[in-house]
Structure 1
Amino acid sequence: MTHSDFQIDPQAFWQVLEPAGTFERAPHGGHKGFFPAELPDGRQLGLPIRVLSGGERALASLIVNQASFTVSDALAKALAEKASAFRPDVVVGLPTLGLTLASQVARALGHSRYVPLSTSRKFWYEEERSVPLRSVTSPDQQKRLYVDPRMLPLIEGRRVLLVDDVISTGSSIVAGLKLLKLCNIEPVAIGAAMLQTTRWREALSAESAGICERVVGVFETPALAPTPEGGWLPEN
């Protein structure tokens, strides 16, 4: 990605990883159009800046199923390397965008398959093994999160890594934790490509004490505040 403006060239985002140091982390006047996230190896990924209602805050955005294979593979490999310290036996993916990343992470870990959770109820699913789910990107949609009962033998008594694409408010992860708890499963770790701000920590801590110490992300992005020059910098 180059210095494309998101409004002019939106399809250019999430397609290319730039060498370390390509973009300044705190340029004079702030970031304009995109925010450079930094992978563990120093490479940078330009993320579009999405301005929130009111215009006083903004967030960097990642939609992993729109990323190039090169980028999504790199994110999956980096997450698998971090998650490997927890020795997961199986990866469980959260819908919708977490499924793309979860399958790639499972492959990067050397697994032959992964277990997808679902918001689409099949007739053999069990309602008692489901929980409400609300996504920060689709707040008006009331959904339920299900586990296919036929998949339970793959995760029962196993070391489970729960994966989503982005952790923001923590609501999707909390739903995943609640559903797994109904199956008597506590994940050994939680993984995501992007940890967006730190708002999620309170929600996860309230659901499971100590779980935040077992969350791993490829990179973190801050809340952004506007600058007088029309750019955006990390909020103090």
Structure 2
Amino acid sequence: MQPHDFWQEIYPPGSFPRGSVYTGFYPAVLPDGTQIKLPIRPLDDGIHALASLIINQASFAVQDALAKALADKLRRLDPQIIVGLPTLGLTLASAVARELGHARFVPLGTSRKFWYDESLSVPLSSITTPDQIKRLYVDPRMLPLLEGRRIVLIDDVVSSGASMRAGLRLLSSCGVSPVALGVAMVQTERWRNLLREEFAEAEQMLCSVFSTPRLARGGLEEPGSYRDAQAQL
């Protein structure tokens, strides 16, 4: 597949086998059994790799399917307002809010407007931009939408847990806490330790559409082939 061909199609259940070795792509399985192809991104160590999702490059059909699947999981919690993490989380948060029948959502941001309050911000970093430390802001005008409401904090992916932790810290500084955390993809298990250090309840609050493992070359001969690293233990 060409790089721009990933995340463009929903495939019928069972289109691609799920085993322990993956070549060229990782087949993610949605709750209804349908599948999407995720590219495999090698890491700098030359051994490990991750399955990748860039949701704002996905087709509308894929975005809609992910939003519907996540909204279906969140609906039982009766969320009143969706809060989205930048940057890619905003695409999913907006779609989930629409799927839940909401008229709007609250986007967090990294661009400081002149009327923002610096005390309503926290440092932000992510696995996709590890060398950039930005600040995460909430527009003070949005605070009345959060107070006393059942909030769900949404990002596209949880991987290291750093972005989600920043979002939780920011909401805490506003005097509110979410009833759930929502993501399209759980990428490996790295996030658990980081979040539980400060937000012990985060593991139980997380709702996701699918999860992907850490992958490793593991002595495989075929170029571009990776094995589920956990399966090697």
Same fold (TM > 0.5): yes
Matched, 1:123 2:114: yes
Q: Distance in 2 between matches of 1:106 and 1:42?
A: 23
Choose from 156, 165, 171 the match for 2:156. 165
Choose from 15, 27, 42 the match for 1:36. 27
Q: Distance in 1 between matches of 2:136 and 2:145?
A: 18
Give the count of matched residue pairs. 227
Give the C-alpha shift of residue 229 in structure 1. Answer: 2.8
Structure 2 gaps of 5+ residues are none
SS of equivalent residue, structure 1 residue 31: strand
Code of the residue aligned with 1:165 in structure 2: it is D
Partner of 2:71: 80
Partner of 1:53: 44
Code of the residue aligned with 1:210 in structure 2: it is E
Q: Distance in 1 between matches of 2:155 and 2:127?
A: 13
Choose from 222, 227, 230 the match for 1:233. 227
Partner of 2:139: 148
Matched, 1:16 2:6: no
Give the C-alpha shift of residue 64 in structure 1. Answer: 0.1
How do 1:151-230 and structure 2 match up within 5 A?
151-227=142-218, 228-230=220-222
Question: 1:139-191 CA deviation, whole Å, 9 max, x = no partner?
Answer: 11120000000000011110000000000000000000000000011100000
Q: Distance in 2 between matches of 1:229 and 1:83?
A: 43
SS of equivalent residue, structure 1 residue 17: coil
Which has the higher mean CA deviation after the structures are superposed, 224-233 or 178-187? 224-233
TM-score (norm 1): 0.94
Matched, 1:103 2:94: yes
Give the C-alpha shift of residue 206 in structure 1. Answer: 1.3
SS of equivalent residue, structure 2 residue 26: strand
Structure 1 residue runs of 4+, over 2 Å off? none
Structure 1 gaps of 5+ residues are none
Which has the higher mean CA deviation after the structures are superposed, 66-75 or 196-205? 196-205
SS of equivalent residue, structure 2 residue 13: coil
Matched, 1:90 2:90: no
SS of equivalent residue, structure 2 residue 211: strand
Q: Distance in 1 between matches of 2:3 and 2:30?
A: 21
Q: How much identity, in percent, do the aligned residues show?
A: 59
Partner of 2:19: 26
Code of the residue aligned with 2:229 in structure 1: it is E
SS of equivalent residue, structure 2 residue 155: strand
Code of the residue aligned with 2:7 in structure 1: it is W
Give the C-alpha shift of residue 203 in structure 1. Answer: 1.2
Question: 1:109-162 CA deviation, whole Å, 9 max, x = no partner?
Answer: 110000000000000000001000001100111200000000000111100000
Q: Distance in 2 between matches of 1:229 and 1:161?
A: 44
Give the C-alpha shift of residue 85 in structure 1. Answer: 2.0
Q: CA RMSD in A?
A: 0.9
